């Protein structure tokens, strides 16, 4: 589990693969407090050719990172793991 200090503004790369290929388009992310299901997904942050999320302005606690890959006919929602904010 990756830990960030609450004052941090930091890029967290998240690699999503579809059929063994890294997905760089049609991917959105959602960050939720532990125990909360994802509702609103947002465009990813892109830094140095990597896709992920910007961690900023979160209250201390444990958060789950979700990804959604929009593809026809499937739209999988993936649990990408947890981060902790101190």
> What is the domain class of 2-85 according to CATH?
mainly beta
pLDDT in tens, 9-23: 999 999 998 888 888
Q: Hey, which residues does 40 pair with through a beta bridge?
A: none
Nearest of 81, 50, 53 to residue 65 by alpha carbon = 81
- The pLDDT of residue 32 is 97
Which pair of tokens denotes residue 34? Answer: 């532990």
Model pLDDT, residue 45: 95
Q: Where are the domains of the chain?
A: 2-85
* pLDDT 10s digits, 28-70: 999 999 999 999 999 999 999 899 999 999 999 999 999 999 9
pTM: 0.90
Other beta carbons within 10 Å of 38: 18
pLDDT digits (tens, 9 = 90+) for 75-84: 889 999 999 9
Report how far apart, in Å, the C-alpha atoms of 67 and of each of 23, 29, 51, 73 are: 11, 4, 11, 17
């Amino acid at each position: 589990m990756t830990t960030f200090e609450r004052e941090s503004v930091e890029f967290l790369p998240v690699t999503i693969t579809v059929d063994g290929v890294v997905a760089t388009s049609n991917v959105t992310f959602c960050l939720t407090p532990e125990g909360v299901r994802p509702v609103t997904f947002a465009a990813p942050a892109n830094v140095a050719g990597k896709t992920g999320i910007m961690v900023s302005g979160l209250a201390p606690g444990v958060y789950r990172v979700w990804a959604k890959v929009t593809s026809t006919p499937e739209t999988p929602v993936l649990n990408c793991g947890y981060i902790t904010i101190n």
